[in-house]
Structure 1
């Protein structure tokens, strides 16, 4: 059977075209959107000042966030596990004239030097899909310089207790929040997609165990006038349940 990394690499290579076609307009080519709620880094400022700073984007997809950082004067490197996603990044680079240095890599073993970056960020990239998030967090700490900041967004853990359904059906819990069984798709005996569940307490413990310091936690509210549905995220559910958790960490 495939590992989580191998299965998700294969899945994203096969689904990158559809993903970019469906969500590309919402994400923008040169825009930093943290989550389906539409929280934008230009307004949120979670990373602080980025001009002149070295920034790593983890699980960059088509590098929309990294491209926005470049447009704001940051020195950026990015990576993704999917080669097909990186081909979309190259396409958008050519269309916008903003180039992002991007590599294919696995977040559990980063191909970057110690203390190479001032900031690191991940908008639903890598961390929900890896079997060993502690390895990723330790790698991020390794490549950050002293005082460096890491901000990452993931599905809010409470969502796992509810069906991934944007309708009223998605408002009734049908499983235990404490059931940490991953969501797995298979083709026969072969694993084709994996997403892992960690509770809020798990994430806090992982951050602490990695040696990073947890500085902040943001649960974005669903904004008025935002009517777009993204998978299980919707205005209906967003009025009742948090859909995203954004953690701000630093290296002491």
Structure 2
């Protein structure tokens, strides 16, 4: 399959999001749990894509600005905004630099299933730090790095001697990779596999403190699609908050 960018697959990806229960039935409830009440918050949806998370937050009373690199995805987001005006603003830019967003502009930031597509994780966390107000929060969702390494596979459903599970190899091999699954996103645009420690250490180095982590189980429909999700989490959601100057400096030395 030809390798593409999200801009190339924008229409396909929009349909993919609407058809997969994992987004609305698993990721969204976990995200809302970590974000909490958002009425009156000013939130950046970083790497917002076609704006599905931005719309959910805006419906709950947040003032939202979405930033994404792909103009075709932003065009879809704008189309949804016209159909259902929620006051969401959209800006084209690279999450690694967050150009077009001002310093200390937001009280919170979400980044959903996008950090895996960004080459420079540390630059991205530093950009989030720049655009957040003092004490601001970050919530992100990623495929679980412990169980979604490049060569991870489900054990066979037809093997009566072994319960359904996940075999993981290549965990320490941090790199960009492309899946062989022709129906998935990763076969088209790939992602960057990183160890769990990489995410946590770089988050701390950017001046954030971990508040809470979620490893959500599946909804009924998601479990029908992927039975192994009943046994092994394939998603990780993190909430962290920005430390003040002295605290952040001490954390960066750890």
Q: Pick the TM interval, shorter chain.
A: 0.7 to 0.9
Contiguous gaps of at least 5 residues in structure 2: 158-163, 180-187, 244-254
CA contact (8 A) 1:158 1:242 kept: no
Measure the CA separation in 2 of the matches of 1:131 and 1:97. Answer: 33
Counterpart residue number, 1:241: 232
User: Structure 1 residues 51-60 or 98-107, which shifts more?
Assistant: 98-107
Counterpart residue number, 1:102: 90
Measure the CA separation in 1 of the matches of 2:30 and 2:148. Answer: 29
Counterpart residue number, 1:204: 200
Q: Select which of 12, 20, 41 maps to 2:14.
A: 20
Q: Select which of 52, 63, 66 maps to 2:51.
A: 63
Post-superposition offset of 1:62: 0.9
Q: CA RMSD in A?
A: 2.8
Counterpart residue number, 1:3: none
CA, structure 1 residues 72+172, in 2 after alignment: closer, same or farther (shift >3 Å)? closer
TM-score normalized by the length of structure 1: 0.79
Q: Deviations over 1:122-147 (max 9, x none)?
A: 1112x111121011001101111111
Counterpart residue number, 2:129: 141
Post-superposition offset of 1:84: 0.9
Post-superposition offset of 1:214: 1.1
Q: Select which of 112, 118, 129 maps to 2:107.
A: 118
Post-superposition offset of 1:73: 1.7
CA contact (8 A) 2:214 2:237 kept: yes
CA contact (8 A) 2:175 2:193 kept: yes
Measure the CA separation in 2 of the matches of 1:157 and 1:222. Answer: 17
Alignment partner of 1:45 is 2:33: yes
Counterpart residue number, 1:221: 217
Alignment partner of 1:173 is 2:182: no
Measure the CA separation in 2 of the matches of 1:12 and 1:156. Answer: 21
Q: Deviations over 1:213-243 (max 9, x none)?
A: 11111111123454464xxxx2x12022211
Post-superposition offset of 1:198: 1.0
Measure the CA separation in 1 of the matches of 2:24 and 2:172. Answer: 24
Alignment partner of 1:251 is 2:239: no
TM-score normalized by the length of structure 2: 0.79
Contiguous gaps of at least 5 residues in structure 1: 1-7, 28-32, 186-191
CA, structure 1 residues 43+174, in 2 after alignment: closer, same or farther (shift >3 Å)? closer
SS at match of 2:109: strand
Q: How many aligned positions are there?
A: 227
Post-superposition offset of 1:92: 1.3
